[in-house]
Amino acid sequence: MKNIAVIGAGTMGNGIAHTFAQCGFKVQLIDINEASLKRGVETISKNLDRMVAKEKISEADKATTLENITLFTDIAEGVEYASLVVEAATENVNLKLKIFKELDEVCSDDAILASNTSSISITQIASVTSRPDKVIGMHFMNPVPIMKLVEIIRGYSTSDETTQTIMELSKTLGKVPTEVNDYPGFVANRILMPMINESIETLYNGVAGVTEIDTVMKLGMAHPMGPLQLADFIGLDVCLSILNVMYDGFKNPKYAPCPLLVNMVRAGKLGVKSGEGFYDYSENRKAEKISSQFA
């Protein structure tokens, strides 16, 4: 398994492509938008430059990593020789179902199809394919080149062979794969998102301010980043989408998103990527400063 296709050149997609390419895999990075592909490669190059500056890799390592990545705007062409496809598109169930249906038609019969989804049912995704035994979740953490965890999600029909293959593959990336079952939010977001949502409720109810809430969690609970700052880093729209998936899946009001979160997303205040969320990132390159904490 040396040819890996990655669908989506956004934050998670380019991070996944970077990680595989740095570990010697040939990566086909696919996105329908050429501008997104260009931005994705620029991000990979900048992140590699940081690693060179910190003497974690050499200039030759950087060059080899970039050489291992080939760009495509056509899915069928990009996945032609892939043994594994990792989908990292927007967290939208209809989009993912559309992509997996197409992947099933154009990929080789023995290719494994993985989703980087952080909350959507792998069983549901697999249901639109003719190979549910070869569909699995690979939920990488952001930023992918740095974070060690990969949450491996088994769908209802995912085979033992597929699971073991992906567990071992994740280890070759220097990751720590952790197997979980297919329920809304899996483990990571089932625990994380209610905490973030409750932090937003705490702010909404006027119990404390943004910096005060984050300070309590950082200094009192030894979190490296406060929950509101983390929400900004994840993207408030992503947090809202995950909470909605969990609320729809469990029908439990404890997963209902806070009205403040809903209104902020409606207003376009999405966090780091929009320049404003619970914090203002428009001045003094604050967004870059937050990102650099993980590099």
Reply yes or no on whether 67 is catalytic.
no
153 neighbors 182 (Cβ within 8 angstroms): yes
- The helix (H) or strand (E) run that includes residue 85 is strand 84-87
| Separation CA 223–CA 203 (nearest Å) | 18
Annotated catalytic residue within 139, 170, 197, 276: 139
In the chain, the amino acid numbered 168 is: E
Annotated catalytic residue within 47, 115, 116, 189: 189
87 neighbors 100 (Cβ within 8 angstroms): yes
Interior/surface letters 180-197, b for 16+ CB within 10 angstroms, e for the rest: eebebbbbbbbebbbebb
Reply yes or no on whether 118 is catalytic.
yes
Annotated catalytic residue within 47, 118, 170, 197: 118
CA 33 to chain centre: 19
Three-class SS of residue 101?
helix
Annotated catalytic residue within 87, 119, 121, 151: 151
Give the count of beta carbons closer than 10 Å to the beta carbon of residue 253: 7
**Residues identified as active-site:** 118, 139, 151, 189
